[in-house]
Amino acid sequence: MAQDPQDRPSGGGSGGAPPPQMSGLRMIAWFLAVMLFTYYWLGVTESQQQELSYTQFKERVRANEVVSVTMQGERITGQLHSLVEGAAPAEGQPARNRFVTTLPPVDDPDLMPLLEQHEVEVKARSAEEAGGRGC
């Protein structure tokens, strides 16, 4: 007599239990955990960068205060030898010696010679490169 398919144990014929499935609540919890981590990480990264005007950036280069820069499209991020003026860190926060500035929409032929003259390390990334958040 043939056995009814409903009476057979599930699990693909191996006799084992089917693989456990993630419950909807557990999936939501993991999603929220990932989102919180991402938000925190991005927030910390951004809070450690001080925005400088292009003029302030060039003044810092002339004063030999810039260690390195990364150019990506019209965005320049970089690192200073010392803290950004007026950017005293909050309690428990790291010192802010990173900055970000934006190139003006006009060509500045003096920028690269200025950076080279003051021995600033220059890195470049393509404007399309994803995740370009610093140097």
Query: pLDDT tens for residues 69-125?
Result: 999 999 999 999 876 555 454 444 445 689 999 999 999 999 999 999 999 999 999
pLDDT for 135 equals 45
Tell me what percent of the chain is helix, strand and coil, each rounded to the nearest 5: 30, 20, 50
Question: From the CA atom positions of the chain, what is the Rg in Å?
Answer: 27
Reported pTM? 0.55
Q: For the chain, what are the domain ranges?
A: 50-125
Q: How far is CA 134 from CA 50, 79, 93, 100, 124, in A?
A: 12, 9, 18, 8, 11
115-120 CB contacts, 8 Å cutoff, 24+ apart: 115/61, 115/66, 115/69, 118/61, 118/62, 118/64, 118/66, 120/61, 120/66, 120/67, 120/68, 120/69, 120/78
- Name the CATH architecture for the domain at 50-125: 2-Layer Sandwich (3.30)
Query: pLDDT tens for residues 21-36?
Result: 668 888 888 888 887 7
pLDDT for 35 equals 78
